[in-house]
Each structure stands twice: as C-alpha cells, then as structure tokens.
C-alpha cells in the first residue's frame, strides 16, 4: 500500500470499516449503488429480451414481406412469384389467402363453441420456405390435404379441440349469400364446410396460437370464392433487416399496381412501444443511482467535517488543493467501483436465474406473475447487450464521481489556519 499515491492510500484508510455512523452511511451508499446497478441490468436485459423474442416470433410465423395487388386479388401469382424469387435478397416466396372466418365446434355431447379466428390458406409444399409452421406441430401432423386443418395450441385449448375432432367453418361467401337471400325474401341456408383437425401448432407466440387456423390454399380460395386467385404473396428474405431495401427494389420492379408491406411496418406499433418503454424505464431507473449518489454525498460531507483537523495538517505540510480534492474524490470512486462490481454480479445472477425465481414466486403466491395471455411468452426473456451494460456501469461510476465533487471541492478550499483554529 506504501507504493500507492498518498491520496488513494488515505482514501482507503478512511474507508476501513469502523463502528461509526459514517461507516454505516458509507455501507448504505455502497448498497444503494449496488441495487441501482442490479435493477438497471435486470430491467434493461429483460426489456431487450422481450424485443428480441418478439421479433423472432413475428419473423418465425410471419413473412418478411407481403405483396398485394392494390385493387384486387392476385391473378397469375405463379409468374409473379418467379419474378420476385429472382431478386438477390429473396430467399423464398409462397402464396396465401388470409382472412377472418366463423368456426363452430362439433362436440359429441354438449353445446358447440364459437369463435372467429383468422384463416391462413397455404401451399404446404412452399410453407417451409416462408415460416416455421411445419416445424412447430406439437400434436398430430403438418397435414392440410383434403379437409385437413391446423389450429393453434391456445385456440385448441379454448375450443376444447383435439386431433381428429371436426370443426365447422362458416365462410364469408356463405354469409354473404345468406344476407342476399334475405333481401330477396327467400332466406336460403348454406351449410358450413366441415374440416378435421389434423394438427395443433405452437409457434411460441400467444397471439398467433390463439387467433390463427391454417388450411390448404384451395380450400381457403373456395371459402373466399376467389377462384384461382390469392390474396397475396409471402416473401422471406435472407436478412429480415434488409426488408426496406428489398421493398424499394420490388416496388420499382413490379410497378405501382402492387403494394409491398414489410414486417416492420405491420408490427411497428408494438415494436416502437417496446422501444419507447425500454428507453423510459432506463431513464426512470437511473434516478435510483441519483438517490444512491446522495448517500455518497452525505457520507463525504460528514467525512469532511470529521476530518477538518487532518485536512488542515495536510495543507500545512504542503498538500495542494488538487491533492485534497483527489483524496475525497477517491473515496467516492472507490464506493462507486465496489457498488458497481457488486451490482453487476447481483444483476447477472438475477438474470441467470430469473425463470427459477419466477416459478418459485408463482408457486409460493399462487398468482401467475408473468401471464402468457398478456405478455405472449411462456418464459421471462432476457438478453445481455454489452453496450447496455457498459452504459449502466460507466454511467453509475460517473454519477458516483459527481456525487463526491462538491464535498471534495469544499474540502480543498479549507485554509490551514481556519481548519486548525479550534484545535
């Protein structure tokens, strides 16, 4: 320790644990910095995890681009798909029919259950090029041949459906026909199409699992009465973050009669809200560090008052204002470094065992603290971003340094005569 600068040596000596009120304040300051850093790391990591998981789930089931005709359904979509597939950024193209339908369960006993999910008509041979649906079947098989139908796990649970159950689907076409027949006074009835549940899928996102059913492209075309046309084309890119560049190129190539939408545009609301929430939480929680900094300031003010005589002696033997200032700033930096290191360790530990703690709290309290129906994820996500950790730790150290600036400056301004006057 003798090799250290005397400012740092004295700072370490003053910080040695003693049974005094100042030591208690110093300990509280360290704990405050530690908790502030830990909470910031936990919250920002969880928010980053939310963002990553949400993007992965959206991109797993939804295509990176959707292409529609501006005023009608797409005719001759095979030729258009070949043209799009030739683009250097495009990985795969598949046609789709997408829209709301009314479904009714066909139980052997009891009353039927109704719902209005989104029907997604797909070409099964091309679906693996544009989504993870073929790999997401948890019951049954990926089979939409004939009258086969796939339903999401949450929808199957809500409708009490199992593989092999029958499901009646009322198409918009039949509902429109019944409405027209009522106007003419005939009141004709059009029976719904009957399908068999061939598989249950789980794409990892609650909204998709609860609101989507999947059928074959021909069946969906028949339900919507669009002949051989389709509603649009799903386009998968090699890099989803090149979606804007691909859209510009494809709009130029295809012409003004086609509309190209990116996954960022379609999900901009929730993605932007998540980003704003993350930034707001970051700024709000940084006030925890400011509160901890007040503890450092109060401890150093008390220190300066207690060490007035020592300051006078140091200045009398030749210590400069800068050295006195460095002595007390060193104390605030040491408190900050210890608090940041402990907070970093605590935060990383909490992030590593976040789901175990969540399951324990769910079991202990009997409440679901992280309901999938609200947050759309079954586990609490987290992502450690080195840049965020560096900002949190660096910013915390800077705040601790600022906290000691005023007391250190006041200590450096003390004159030896005034410091020793009452000694």
Judge residue 113's burial from the number of C-beta atoms within 10 Å of its C-beta, 0-12 exposed, 13-18 middle, 19 or more buried. middle
pLDDT in tens, 157-184: 999 999 999 999 988 777 777 777 766 7
How far is Cα 54 from Cα 8, in angstroms, rounded to an integer?
Answer: 48
State yes or no: pLDDT of 71 exceeds 90.
Answer: no
What pLDDT is attached to residue 1?
Answer: 44
Query: Please, what is the average pLDDT of the chain?
Result: 83
pLDDT, average across residues 312-330: 76
pTM value? Answer: 0.69
Q: Which helix (H) or strand (E) holds 213?
A: strand 212-216
pLDDT band at 18 (very low <50, low <70, confident <90, very high): low
Least confident segment among 68-72, 231-235, 399-403, 415-419: 415-419
Query: What is the reported pLDDT for 378?
Result: 64
Per-residue pLDDT, averaged over 380-385, amounts to 87
Q: Could you tell me the two tokens for 422? A: 């009452």
| Least confident span in 120-124, 315-319, 359-363 | 315-319
Kindly report, residue by residue over 187-204, the tens digit of the pLDDT.
Answer: 666 778 899 999 999 887
Does pLDDT of 120 surpass 80?
A: yes
pLDDT at 19 over 70: no
Does 310 have pLDDT greater than 80? no
What is the pLDDT, as a whole number, of residue 293?
A: 79
What pLDDT, on a 0 to 100 scale, did the predictor assign at position 256? 86
Q: What is the 3-state secondary structure (H, E, C) of 222-253?
A: HHCCCCCCECEEEEEECCHHHHHHHHHHHHHH
Instruction: Give the bridge partners for 100, in sequence order.
Output: 118
Q: What angle do CA 173, 75, 216 make, to 5 degrees?
A: 55
Per-residue pLDDT of 410-422, as tens digits, reads: 877 777 666 566 5
Specify whether the backbone of 123 is left (phi greater than 0), alpha (psi in -120 to 50) or beta.
Answer: beta
8 A C-beta contact, residue 300 and residue 410? no
Residue spans of the domains in the chain: they are: 6-56+270-420, 63-262
- Beta 148-152 vs 65-69: how paired, if at all? unpaired
* Residue 269 pLDDT exceeds 60: yes
């Amino acid at each position: 320790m003798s090799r250290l600068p005397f400012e740092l040596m004295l700072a370490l000596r003053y910080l040695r644990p003693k049974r005094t009120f100042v030591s208690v304040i110093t300990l509280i300051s360290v704990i405050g910095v530690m908790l502030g850093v830990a909470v910031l790391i936990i919250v920002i990591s969880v928010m980053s995890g939310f963002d990553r998981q949400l993007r992965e789930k959206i991109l797993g089931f939804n295509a990176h681009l959707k292409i529609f005709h501006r005023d009608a359904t797409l005719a001759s979509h095979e030729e258009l798909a070949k043209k799009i597939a030739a683009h250097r950024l495009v990985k795969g193209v598949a046609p789709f029919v997408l829209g709301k339908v009314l479904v009714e369960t066909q139980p052997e006993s009891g009353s039927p259950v109704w719902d209005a999910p989104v029907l997604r008509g797909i070409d099964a041979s091309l679906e693996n090029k544009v989504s993870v649906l073929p790999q997401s079947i948890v019951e049954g098989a990926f089979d939409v041949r004939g009258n086969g139908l796939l339903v999401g796990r949450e929808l199957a649970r809500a409708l009490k459906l199992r593989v092999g159950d029958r499901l009646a689907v009322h198409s918009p076409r039949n509902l429109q026909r019944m409405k027209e027949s009522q106007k003419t006074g005939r009141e004709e009835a059009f029976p719904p199409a009957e399908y068999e549940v061939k598989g249950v899928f789980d794409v990892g996102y609650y909204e998709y699992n609860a609101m989507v059913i999947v059928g074959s492209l021909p069946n969906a075309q028949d339900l919507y009465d669009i002949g051989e046309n389709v509603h649009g084309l799903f386009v998968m890119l090699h890099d989803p973050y090149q979606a804007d560049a691909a859209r510009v190129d494809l709009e130029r190539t295809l012409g003004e009669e086609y509309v190209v939408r990116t996954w960022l545009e379609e999900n901009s609301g929730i993605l932007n809200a998540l980003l704003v929430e993350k930034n707001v939480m970051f700024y709000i929680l940084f006030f925890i560090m400011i509160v901890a900094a007040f503890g450092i300031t109060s401890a150093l003010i008390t220190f300066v008052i207690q060490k007035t005589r020592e300051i006078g002696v140091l200045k009398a033997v030749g210590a400069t204002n800068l050295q006195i200032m460095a002595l007390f700033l060193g104390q605030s930096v040491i408190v900050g470094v210890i608090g940041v290191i402990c907070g970093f360790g605590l935060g990383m530990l909490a992030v590593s065992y976040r789901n175990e703690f969540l399951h324990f709290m769910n079991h202990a309290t009997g409440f679901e603290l992280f309901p999938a129906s609200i947050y759309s994820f079954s586990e609490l996500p987290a992502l450690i971003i080195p840049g965020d950790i560096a900002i949190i730790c660096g910013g915390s150290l800077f705040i601790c340094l600022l906290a000691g600036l005023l007391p250190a400056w006041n200590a450096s301004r003390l004159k030896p005569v005034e410091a020793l006057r009452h000694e």
